[in-house]
Amino acid sequence: MSKKKKETDILFRSSLDDVKDAKFSPDIQGFTVGTEGQLEIEPEWFPGSDDFFCVDHFPSILNCTESEYHKIQAFSNSFGSTLLNEDPWFQKAWTGIEPSRPMILGSAAELYIELLSDCIKDQSFIDLDRMNWKVGKVFEHVVVMPLWEGTGARKNQQAFKKDNEDKLIITEKEFDTIMLMLKSALSNSQFWERLNGTWQTVILWIEDGVPMKAMLDHITQNLLTRNIKTPGDLKTTDVGNPRAFHKKMYDRNYDMQAYHYTVALQSLYPDEKIGNFIWYVLETQDPYGSAVYYADEVVLESGRAKRARAIEIAKQLYKKGELAEFPNYSPDRPKEFTLWDWQINKSLRMEQENEILN
């Protein structure tokens, strides 16, 4: 009797002929909406301090701020991405990330973009110079720190930060950068044809026994999307051209984000088709380019596979009951090291230089 053929590890074939329509539904593999009694991981296990069961039913939309969202105990895209990136140092998913200057700039820029889009939508926008930025979410969550010089400058800065510790503090130079980014965005009509929907939608749901959460930057539903709900995310980056962003999309797990957010929206509307996930990209430095990119079926399949792995890691860690104090980078056996072809060839070329010198 011949042995049963071993399953291959190939999860997706490159031919698009066999790819199903990118419509997610509750009965696809790995996506099941559950209830509190079906949990495989308790919410208290996840980082945060706020109760996941703060709504009456699942799935549900929750009205909260970004800081409140981060406190909710549930599996998020950033949590899963950290599990993948830091494997086996899983503790990093609980320690959180100290916001960097680019992250603060990006969060602030998103609020300026949202206010600008609202003004364009209600036809009150005239030009950037006459925009009133001291209203709405910008006024509530962003503050520009004056540039102090001379004696007492440091003391003034420290006092200003203390008085505004609950806000995004940007410098005058960063404010000028955001204005250049907005000017670039205004030159791209694709932004405003789509960024006229709902901003920052928080969705809570239970999937495959795991409490889930997502905060979608934007959801478009208009004639351009054929009235199909289309999720999107604003990305600020140093270089946003297609080649650079394509690499970042994979390396930084934006494909997993696209799938996670798409599933979140599909959980609310299981009988509707969800549009292709969109990234609205703005560069934070010269030449301050802009772009609108969307995820195709292959990107979503890649994101699905990554996310499935992250969820399984979470389940295994939960079953284990504790996290290792120190990471073991070679848990099974000594790990063999080799080099890429370009690396060994570079070394061999160094040796060849000896022959030239002699």
Q: How would you class 19 by CB atoms within 10 Å of its CB: exposed for 0-12, middle for 13-18, buried for 19 or more?
A: middle
pLDDT score, position 329: 87
What's phi and psi for 104, nearest 5 deg?
A: -65, -45
C-alpha 145/C-alpha 174 separation (Å) is 10
pLDDT score, position 357: 73
C-alpha 303/C-alpha 261 separation (Å) is 10
Residue 23: which of 214, 269, 290, 240 has the closest Cα?
269
Q: Is 213 contained in some domain?
A: yes
pLDDT score, position 6: 38
Q: Is 239 contained in some domain?
A: yes
SS3 (DSSP) at 44: helix
Q: Is 1 contained in some domain?
A: no
pLDDT at position 52 over 80: yes
Q: How far is CA 89 from CA 67, 83, 190, 238, 317, in A?
A: 25, 8, 41, 28, 12
Run of H or E residues at 62: strand 60-62
Percent of the chain that is helix, strand, coil (3-state, to 5): 45, 15, 40
Q: Is 4 contained in some domain?
A: no
- For residues 253, 259, 265 and 270, what is the CA-based torsion angle, rounded to 10 degrees? -170
Q: Is 44 contained in some domain?
A: yes
Q: Is 46 contained in some domain?
A: yes
Q: Is 188 contained in some domain?
A: yes
- In sign, the C-alpha dihedral spanning 84, 86, 90, 96 is negative
- For residues 120, 121, 122 and 127, what is the CA-based torsion angle, rounded to 10 degrees? 0
pLDDT at position 266 over 90: yes
pLDDT score, position 358: 67
SS3 (DSSP) at 349: helix
pLDDT score, position 17: 37
C-alpha 249/C-alpha 254 separation (Å) is 5
Structural contact between residues 256 and 308, judged by C-beta atoms closer than 8 angstroms: no
Question: Which residue range is the domain that position 53 belongs to?
Answer: 23-358
The number of domains in the chain is 1
> Which tokens belong to 176?
């000028």
**Binning pLDDT at 50, 70 and 90, where does residue 3 land?**
very low
The DSSP call for residue 43 is: G
Q: What is the pTM of this model?
A: 0.84
CATH classification of the domain holding 128: 3.90.320.10
C-alpha 59/C-alpha 78 separation (Å) is 20
Q: How would you class 189 by CB atoms within 10 Å of its CB: exposed for 0-12, middle for 13-18, buried for 19 or more?
A: exposed
What are the pLDDT digits (tens) for 223-249?
Answer: 999 999 999 999 999 999 999 999 999
Structural contact between residues 156 and 78, judged by C-beta atoms closer than 8 angstroms: no
One-letter identity of residue 219: I
CA atoms within 13 A on the CB side of 39: 17
SS3 (DSSP) at 92: helix
**Binning pLDDT at 50, 70 and 90, where does residue 25 land?**
very low
33-37, 127-131, 322-326, 340-344: least confidently modelled range: 33-37
Q: Is 133 contained in some domain?
A: yes
Find all residues with CB under 8 Å of 286, minimum gap 6, and list them: none
What are the pLDDT digits (tens) for 273-290?
Answer: 999 999 999 999 999 999
